[in-house]
Structure 1
Amino acid sequence: MGKKIIILGLSFLLFLSVQNKALAEKKEERSWKDETIYFIMVDRFQNGDKKNDFEVDTSDPAAYHGGDFKGITEKLDYLEKLGVTAIWMTPVVKNKERGYHGYWTEDFYETEEHFGTKEDLKQLVKEADDRDIKVILDLVVNHTGYKHSWQNDPEKKDWFHPQEEISNWDNQQNVENGWLAGLPDLNTENPETRNYLLDMAEYWIKETDIDGYRLDTVKHVPKDFWIEFSKRVKEAKSDFYLIGEVWHNDPRYIAEYNKAGIHSFVDYPLFNEMVRIFKQSGQSLSELHSVWERNKYYYEDPYTLGNFIDNHDNIRFVREVLLKQEDPEKRLKLALTYLYTAPGIPILYQGTEHMMDGAKDPDNRRMMDFSQNKKMETFTAKLGDLRQKHPALRRGDFSMIKDDGAKAVFKRTYRDETIYIVYNNDKKDAEITFKDKDLSGHKFVDLINEEEAKVKGGKIELQVKGETAHVFLLQEESSNPYLYAAIAAGGILVILLLVFLFKK
């Protein structure tokens, strides 16, 4: 009996040790580079509360369409199944008339009544947190709406820069002080104005417990403001995330704002290359790797950059493809595969997973259609699932091991996991063959199609259909993908058997 008790105790302690280690590793590893962000235009996502539908006109692309906080809350399960781990919402503060998009602030401390109350917003954040989904709010500190009441307040005449349009985009002072598209430009050099905006940013963190800000029009605000801003928000919440919009094609220019305390940026240089390469067949993928090499050099942590192929300011990717008279389904699958497997945080703009079309603003801001393309939704969810299951797709190094015209192979390795992403960006089927030092004694498991390919003589030969991409996990030839599950199940059975013997 004594031996039985000892064996049972040791088995139980071993089981607890393994479980605790796994939990500790999981907790330690989770960071912003592991997230997948879904970008929501609040007014155009889901109408969950008809009571706030005044002045709604779905036939007018520049009017409110009825989306709100309750609508987003209703769709959190949908987002979770899509593999989303964070949502970024367009500005939620009270806007001037027809400011459905949120960028024409009228009151920095109130929610837009078309979207719901602060309590609705807090409920959304809480229910998202219950699903381990982080919430990022879009924040504008560069300007107000066109007819903000401060402009008529004598005591706030110094809160704005003199009215002057931006005329020289190469002149940084003009970029920072000029009125963007005629919007009143806030004078953040004024201590009163600055303190108001800093207090406001801290207020929303403490009031709603959000997890991050997407910072609008970053380059139009002086860097010394961002230094103070980043310090304040981190004091309010230590792990608070800042991702900035610096709309520029030069990573050297963008990376300067890293030094001002902004962790991350939406990667416009990569966006430009992804759209150019994937909207039309036959393009080389080599420039995608070049962008990554530059990012590694210039940014503090390039793995936290936000990658995207669609947003609310540019025409939809699907429209770009249609203008080239290409197949939107094939082209979008290629682009999404790169979005989810390349270094950086994928940002999925609402509707991309349903292959939504759209021209210039406001046509690229159509009301979300959840039934448009279930096949593409399923494909996107699969990519989201793969990214969460395989750390190499979130944290792995990145190299291009084959660059042959429109055919390319990228490799990502993290610890003991290696993944190859294979692209045939041409219309014709092709054999893609390559060697790599890690191939011998291994096989390829296609994570999307669940097929296998064997390595022969230290090289792999793949028959790849035109306009397709494949994500391959490198696996030892003798390994069994269900081995660890079987071991775990066996361990549980042993413990149950010991318990049975102990009772006897």
Structure 2
Amino acid sequence: MNRILQLFMLLLPLAISAQIDKIEPPFWWSGMNHSKLQIMVYGDEIARYTPEVKNAVITGITKTENPNYVFITVDTEGLDPGTYNIDFKKGKRTVFTHAYELKKRTPGSNIRKGFDASDVIYLLMPDRFANGNPANDSHPELTEKVNRNFEGGRHGGDIQGIIDHLDHIEALGATAVWSTPLCEDNDKKYSYHTYAQSDVYRIDPRYGTNKDYQRLSEELHKRDMKLLMDYVTNHWGLEHWMIKDLPAYDWIHQFPGYAQTNYRMTTQMDPNASGRDRRYCMDGWFVQSMPDLNQQNPLVLNYLIQNAVWWIEFADLDGFRVDTYSYNDKEAIALWTKAIMDEYPHFNIVGEVWMHDQAQMAYWQKDSKIGAIQNYNSYLPSVMDFTLHDAVTVVFKEKNPTWDKGMIQVYENFVNDFLYPDVNKLLVFAENHDTARINELYPDLKDYKLIMTLIATVRGMPQIYYGSEIGMKGNKSKGDGDIRRDFPGGWANDENNAFTASGRTDLQNEYFDFTSKLFNWRKGAEVIHSGETTQYIPENEVYVFFRHDKDRAVMVIVNNNPAAQTIKLDRFAENLGGFSKGEEVLSGRETGLDSTLGVPAKTSYIIELKK
């Protein structure tokens, strides 16, 4: 009988330890700047026990109104890599123990270099890019199954599909991949976009595993390419396991219950805004299926900081794109951003600040003088140039240019560059996964060439959207599914394989060859990465600007006129002085700089100037 009792007592801790359903972060690293580690432990009435950690100092234990949670803060400063036991005690008796690992940090991890203006970012939606592993198209633990016939459903693209086609992305001249979110999203429908995440420490099994995501990073780094994670700080999905059993009532914003954001991001800096309007912008839910996280709760904010740092270390990331950045609690998101940039001073984060006024967008960039008026600093290195995007979507189809319509709208966008603390850290783009497809707006290849020339040569960091390099279209008015079409050739039975030159149509090859030549040239064009800009007021829908430094200069001509134009070069003497000739990059032709230059209709020139 005593032997049975002894055996029972030995097995009891193992049985009770099954109460621990989740520990997050699942592990950490020694030598981190973020050394006060908040460990969230979740299990049935786990708060009944008092945690202790041998050989480490617990600086705080937080229990909430939900007895299924306990938050343990451990000071990891000076701790060596290894396993540290967390004892869960009832009185003086240890009921069970959990082994928590501090891993050895990769040397130099803290000085990793993020993406910058020397990069070209390729944005893709993994579910719609390529299906490299059909075995994971559906998963027994997740509700929505593969259905390629449903435009808004799961189509089966995955991480392996991205890895399989890195040759295509690299050949295009891209140096970085931005994938829309890959963490688990267990929504019943439309889960493919993965912005309503249900587990932020787990890659969605329909995309692959956490190890697969690490492997994608490794494969990119072998090619000297970078990986950007699409990170969501503002909200989770209704199916998130923590939303189903909230740690605390104020873990999310409640009114009580649901209230939708008013989407008026201007309330964030409007000195005349009502408190109610400001609250509904920041605290309202983006949509009913996406509960808004309360980042003013220090447990929530710490959780988000640690999750972001965890992914950077785990997957060796090179940057973040942060979804709906300007909907967050602006003081809290600044703390989140600063914590990451303090940990990784050379990292880069670009925020989605979808606004239509340069002053309002500049407000959100680090060290903004506009933000300083309100004593605000977001610490965010990069913002997206939505006003340039706005201009691009209309100017190339303007049939009646006027004083303020046509190419002058592009020119005027750059007039306001003085508002930004760092224009070289603006993300420039013609389209993304939320906007109209540029080839739908402009079905003529000539317009595509004008637009890509502009995106490739202006200041900032260019981003291109998957499929546009082969002329892919998509009608936004039909819904998001149409602008997120499957890349032809990404599925085994596709008739058209646009990943290879032999599989592409003649027109698809024209699109691809132009894009590839343009962005591969840009890789080595340092004057484009870091040079200054001098622009000239457009005449007859011909926009001319120069990128230059003390030794080099590139002249860019964008003729948006439906007729050929002859431009007089003496107008540009201040930038052409000291140069005797030029070479047009796209054609390889030598160009004289004597008096005039003819430019065919709807044609762009990129001329490297030579002495």
Quick one: structure 1 residues 208 and 440, their matched pair in 2 at CA, closer, same or farther if it must change by over 3 Å?
A: closer
Query: Where do 1:206-225 residues align within 5 Å?
Result: 206-225=313-332
Aligned to 1:264: 382
Query: Where do 1:241-390 residues align within 5 Å?
Result: 241-258=348-365, 259-280=377-398, 283=401, 284-295=406-417, 297-322=418-443, 328-360=444-476, 361-369=480-488, 370=498, 371=504, 373-390=508-525
Query: Where do 1:53-452 residues align within 5 Å?
Result: 53-54=137-138, 55-97=145-187, 98=189, 99-153=191-245, 155-162=247-254, 163-167=258-262, 169=264, 170=267, 171-182=277-288, 183-258=290-365, 259-280=377-398, 283=401, 284-295=406-417, 297-322=418-443, 328-360=444-476, 361-369=480-488, 370=498, 371=504, 373-401=508-536, 403-435=538-570, 436-437=573-574, 438-439=576-577, 442-452=580-590
Instruction: Measure the CA separation in 1 of the matches of 2:341 and 2:543.
Output: 41
Q: Tell me if the contact between 2:527 and 2:548 (Cα under 8 Å) persists in the aligned partners.
A: yes
Paired residue secondary structure (2:421): coil
Aligned to 1:463: 598
Q: Once the two structures are superposed, what CA deviation does each residue of 1:196-247 show, in whole Å capped at 9, x if it has no partner?
A: 1111111111111111110001111122222221222224433221000011
Quick one: structure 1 residues 396 and 95, their matched pair in 2 at CA, closer, same or farther if it must change by over 3 Å?
A: same
Instruction: Measure the CA separation in 2 of the matches of 1:174 and 1:127.
Output: 43
Larger radius of gyration: 2
Instruction: Measure the CA separation in 2 of the matches of 1:439 and 1:111.
Output: 55
Instruction: Measure the CA separation in 1 of the matches of 2:222 and 2:311.
Output: 19
Answering whether residue 117 of structure 2 is matched by residue 37 of structure 1, we say: no
Instruction: Measure the CA separation in 1 of the matches of 2:164 and 2:122.
Output: 15
Q: Which runs of 5+ in 2 are unaligned?
A: 1-112, 139-144, 268-276, 366-376, 489-497, 499-503
Aligned to 2:492: none
Instruction: Measure the CA separation in 2 of the matches of 1:341 and 1:282.
Output: 26
Give the TM-score taking structure 2 as reference length: 0.69
CA drift at 1:139:
0.6
CA drift at 1:280:
4.3
Q: Tell me if the contact between 1:354 and 1:377 (Cα under 8 Å) persists in the aligned partners.
A: yes
Instruction: Measure the CA separation in 1 of the matches of 2:400 and 2:428.
Output: 22
Quick one: structure 1 residues 445 and 154, their matched pair in 2 at CA, closer, same or farther if it must change by over 3 Å?
A: closer
Instruction: Measure the CA separation in 1 of the matches of 2:240 and 2:223.
Output: 38
Quick one: structure 1 residues 406 and 189, their matched pair in 2 at CA, closer, same or farther if it must change by over 3 Å?
A: same
CA drift at 1:31:
6.3
CA drift at 1:453:
2.1
Q: Once the two structures are superposed, what CA deviation does each residue of 1:109-130 show, in whole Å capped at 9, x if it has no partner?
A: 1101111001111011011011
Instruction: Measure the CA separation in 1 of the matches of 2:329 and 2:361.
Output: 13
Paired residue secondary structure (1:419): strand
Q: Tell me if the contact between 1:282 and 1:426 (Cα under 8 Å) persists in the aligned partners.
A: no
Paired residue secondary structure (1:100): helix
Instruction: Measure the CA separation in 1 of the matches of 2:354 and 2:153.
Output: 26
Q: Tell me if the contact between 1:226 and 1:261 (Cα under 8 Å) persists in the aligned partners.
A: no
Instruction: Measure the CA separation in 2 of the matches of 1:241 and 1:30.
Output: 5
Instruction: Measure the CA separation in 2 of the matches of 1:474 and 1:280.
Output: 31
Paired residue secondary structure (1:195): helix
Quick one: structure 1 residues 172 and 62, their matched pair in 2 at CA, closer, same or farther if it must change by over 3 Å?
A: same
Q: Which runs of 5+ in 1 are unaligned?
A: 1-28, 323-327, 477-504
Q: Once the two structures are superposed, what CA deviation does each residue of 1:427-480 show, in whole Å capped at 9, x if it has no partner?
A: 111212221133466012111111122222xx3x1121110100011112xxxx
Quick one: structure 1 residues 341 and 434, their matched pair in 2 at CA, closer, same or farther if it must change by over 3 Å?
A: same
Instruction: Measure the CA separation in 2 of the matches of 1:143 and 1:408.
Output: 42
Quick one: structure 1 residues 118 and 154, their matched pair in 2 at CA, closer, same or farther if it must change by over 3 Å?
A: closer
Instruction: Measure the CA separation in 2 of the matches of 1:186 and 1:126.
Output: 32
Instruction: Measure the CA separation in 2 of the matches of 1:157 and 1:245.
Output: 28
Q: Tell me if the contact between 1:282 and 1:427 (Cα under 8 Å) persists in the aligned partners.
A: no
Instruction: Measure the CA separation in 1 of the matches of 2:360 and 2:125.
Output: 28
CA drift at 1:300:
1.6
Higher helix share: 1
Instruction: Measure the CA separation in 2 of the matches of 1:473 and 1:264.
Output: 28
Instruction: Measure the CA separation in 2 of the matches of 1:263 and 1:180.
Output: 24
Q: Tell me if the contact between 2:349 and 2:381 (Cα under 8 Å) persists in the aligned partners.
A: yes
Paired residue secondary structure (1:35): coil
Paired residue secondary structure (2:608): strand
Paired residue secondary structure (1:411): strand
Q: Count matched residues.
A: 439
Residue identity matched to 1:425: N
Query: Percent of aligned pairs with the same residue?
Result: 29
Q: Once the two structures are superposed, what CA deviation does each residue of 1:82-122 show, in whole Å capped at 9, x if it has no partner?
A: 11111111111100234101101100111011110011110
Quick one: structure 1 residues 279 and 57, their matched pair in 2 at CA, closer, same or farther if it must change by over 3 Å?
A: farther
Q: Deviation above 6 Å: which 4+ runs of structure 1?
A: none
Instruction: Measure the CA separation in 2 of the matches of 1:385 and 1:148.
Output: 42
Aligned to 1:19: none
Instruction: Measure the CA separation in 2 of the matches of 1:209 and 1:249.
Output: 34
Quick one: structure 1 residues 30 and 137, their matched pair in 2 at CA, closer, same or farther if it must change by over 3 Å?
A: closer
Instruction: Measure the CA separation in 1 of the matches of 2:146 and 2:115.
Output: 39
Q: Tell me if the contact between 2:285 and 2:292 (Cα under 8 Å) persists in the aligned partners.
A: yes
Instruction: Measure the CA separation in 2 of the matches of 1:155 and 1:244.
Output: 28
RMSD: 1.8
CA drift at 1:168:
6.7
**Relative contact order, CA 8 A, sep 6+: which one is greater?**
1
Q: Tell me if the contact between 1:213 and 1:241 (Cα under 8 Å) persists in the aligned partners.
A: yes
Paired residue secondary structure (2:247): helix
Give the TM-score taking structure 1 as reference length: 0.84
Quick one: structure 1 residues 216 and 30, their matched pair in 2 at CA, closer, same or farther if it must change by over 3 Å?
A: closer
Paired residue secondary structure (2:464): strand
Instruction: Measure the CA separation in 2 of the matches of 1:145 and 1:30.
Output: 29
Instruction: Measure the CA separation in 1 of the matches of 2:558 and 2:247.
Output: 61
Q: Tell me if the contact between 2:114 and 2:346 (Cα under 8 Å) persists in the aligned partners.
A: no
Quick one: structure 1 residues 280 and 332, their matched pair in 2 at CA, closer, same or farther if it must change by over 3 Å?
A: farther
Paired residue secondary structure (1:78): helix
